[in-house]
Amino acid sequence: MLLLGLTGSIATGKSTVSSMLSHPPYSLPVIDADLLARKVVEPGTSGYNSIVRYFSPTTPDLLLPEGSNGASSKGRPLNRPALGRRVFGTTEDRIRDRKVLNGIVHPAVRKEMYKQMVWAYLRGHWAVVLDVPLLFESGWERYCGTILVVAVTDPVIQMKRLRERDPHLSEEDAKNRVLSQGDVREKAERVMRRGPGRGVVVWNDVGKEELKREVDRVMDEVRRSSPKWWGWLLWVCPPLAGIVGLVSWWRMRRVQLEWEEEKRREKDKLR
């Protein structure tokens, strides 16, 4: 079974592409890390309790008011816009708090993702989509046989779309959220280092019809590199699937380390 990593940056259209892949003609199961991230911090979970303990002293409006939608005997839901203002940004304290939040959420999300991947494999799917916004940052890159990046050519497009989607965000809030997820064009360059069929980019600068054509184009490329018969062979022969998975992990880890080493040398030259 192919692990198809789907990533991008905020307001690039990743969710739209995810929806396209979950419907015909692809009909692939989608493991949405954002949805799981909400699930693992619902009131009463260990993730929720950890976030409240750490952030409540510095974020007075961390929880929604009493009587709000979703409140229960287990506690009041998190006020996500308030938490977002606390962790999104480039200042030292926001970067530190974002790492703390990721350290709480990511392990719990990873556990749920493993469960859903196993279930998709047992059901005989040729591929499963791992919809992970911070795929590179969270270490999922090396586990994916193919990575699809949804990108735009100009960050201004992202900020415009983000403010249209979330009118409550100020221009500064939108800019902070875009910058906090890194340059999506760099992600596109990074994924292309994986080679044909292993790293593909969907450019989403125009509209939905053009986006659909882009998705069809890259999925044709992915299909050629991982045909359906190969997926069935791996399904009926689990030992072979394990060997192929290990080989893919080793190759993609090497690509990842080479990229990181290259970027480290570039930073050293600037010092």
Domains of the chain in sequence order: 1-29+125-271 (3.40.50.300), 38-122 (no CATH)
pLDDT band at 144 (very low <50, low <70, confident <90, very high): very high
Beta bridge partners of 2: 127
Q: What confidence tens digit (pLDDT) does each residue in 217-240 have?
A: 999 999 988 887 888 888 888 888
pLDDT in tens, 22-68: 999 999 999 998 899 889 889 889 999 999 999 988 888 888 887 66
- Range with the poorest average pLDDT among 48-57, 179-188, 199-208: 179-188
pLDDT of residue 172: 84
Taking only the tens place, the pLDDT of each residue in 66-78 is: 766 666 678 888 8
pLDDT of residue 68: 65
What's the pLDDT at 71?
A: 63
Residues 134-158, mean pLDDT to the nearest whole number: 89
Task: Indicate the SS3 state at residue 205.
Answer: coil
The structure tokens listed for 153 are 């050519």
Mean pLDDT of 103-123: 89
Report the pLDDT value the prediction gives residue 69, as an integer from 0 to 100: 67
**DSSP designation for 126:** S
Q: Are 128 and 144 in contact (CB under 8 A)?
A: no
Interval 159-183: pLDDT, tens: 888 888 888 888 888 888 887 777 8
List, in sequence order, every residue forming a beta bridge with 4; answer none if it has no partner: 129, 146
pTM score, two decimals?
Answer: 0.80
Pairing of strands 2-7, 127-131: parallel
Helices 171-180 & 155-165 angle (0-180, nearest 10): 120
Mean pLDDT, to the nearest integer, of 192-208? Answer: 91
Element (H, E) at 151: strand 146-151
Helix (H) or strand (E) holding 30: strand 30-32
